[in-house]
Amino acid sequence: MPKPVVTRFAPSPTGYLHIGGARTALFNWLYAKHNGGKMLLRIEDTDRERSTDAATAAILDGLTWLGLDWDGEASRNSSVRLAIAKWRKSWLLLARHITAMQRQKNWKKCARKPAPKVVHRAMTVAGVIAIRQKHPQA
């Protein structure tokens, strides 16, 4: 059984509904209705400096004027995205800290191991001799 079709129109409320946004909303709405699916409207207000309630209202009015409807309520997504971004950042910082701690632990472990013996062979007038160097223990 095929999955139901769900389309989404997610305008940014930084101004009026423009022709490109109207076209995208219309195509999404037509595709969803043609396939017996639904169209969701999500207001992408992640640009808090330029997003306004008046622009959101203008976009909703424009969609209504075009005769487009959506299933369910129009949802705002910025608070969810900001929470996810904050959570993700904290996990990345924790992972970076743990990785740094593991790296430091490995360095200390390697520093405790005895240094390998280094043997160089040198040609002299008397023949081949071995020169052994032993690193001092820390």
Of the chain, the end-to-end C-alpha distance in Å amounts to 69
Considering the entire predicted model, what is its pTM?
A: 0.52
Q: For 102-123, how does the pLDDT look when each residue is reduced to its tens digit (9 = 90+)?
A: 888 888 887 787 766 666 666 6
Bridge partners, 118 (sequence order): 133
Q: Does residue 79 contact residue 111 with C-beta atoms inside 8 Å?
A: no
The architecture of the domain spanning 6-76 is: 3-Layer(aba) Sandwich (3.40)
CA separation for the pair 130, 3 (Å, rounded)? 76
pLDDT band for position 48 (50/70/90)?
A: confident
The separation between CA 65 and the C-alpha centre of its own chain, rounded to angstroms, equals: 36
62: which residues sit within 8 A by CB, 6+ positions away? 16, 17, 22
